[in-house]
Amino acid sequence: MSRANQITTNVIRMITMQGCEAFRNNTMGVFDSAIALKKIWNLVQSGKVTTAELKKSLQSSYRKTHERLGVSDVIGFTKHGVFIAVEVKGKGDTISIEQNSFLKDVATKGGIAFLVAEEPEKIRLKIPGSERITICNDVDFLRLFLLKLDEPF
């Protein structure tokens, strides 16, 4: 399990232990077997069937969903109905404009928005007005989350 996946699992556990609900939000595209079959068939017909080409064909056989871009890795709600969004970043990861925008929207509309990173000191928010997003490492998350839960909503 990667470090980012472990952090995500731990964040979900810490949130649910406080009586809140939290869910992993997988935002990858949807694998389309028809696209994959067409690509593989084209490889067979061209005689270019190699492991690398098969892997490339399968990896590019996802179709986009119509969901909002940038929705956080963990979403949920407090026992009082306040929306929670947590973006998790592993070592060397950066935040996209869409992820920053989503967290900003959550924070400015009364929700709880966190960015939990292995290297929080290297994270640079890209959108003005993002001050209400809490940036921390996984060790500090629970303490800061409990402080947010104590704030009046």
Q: Which residues pair with 112 in a beta bridge?
A: 84
Q: pLDDT per residue over 84-132, tens digit each?
A: 999 999 999 999 999 999 999 999 999 999 999 999 999 989 888 889 9
More confident position, 14 or 26 = 14
Residue 148 pLDDT:
94
- What are the structure tokens assigned to 153, written together? 């909503």
Mean pLDDT over 20-44 rounds to 88
63 and 32 Cβ atoms separated by less than 8 Å: yes
CA distance 14 to 116: 13
pLDDT band, residue 66 (cuts 50/70/90): low
**C-alpha pair distances (Å), 93 with each of 97, 115, 120:** 13, 12, 10
29 and 64 Cβ atoms separated by less than 8 Å: yes
pLDDT band, residue 1 (cuts 50/70/90): low
CA distance 105 to 95: 15
pLDDT above 90: percentage of residues in the chain: 69
* Residue 22 clears pLDDT 80, i.e. is over it: yes
Going edge to edge, which strands form the sheet with 134-136? Answer: 21-24, 74-77, 83-89, 112-117, 134-136
Query: Which long-range CB contacts under 8 A does 130-134 form with residues at least 24 apart?
Result: 130/100, 130/103, 130/104, 132/104, 132/107, 132/108, 133/100, 133/103, 133/104, 133/107
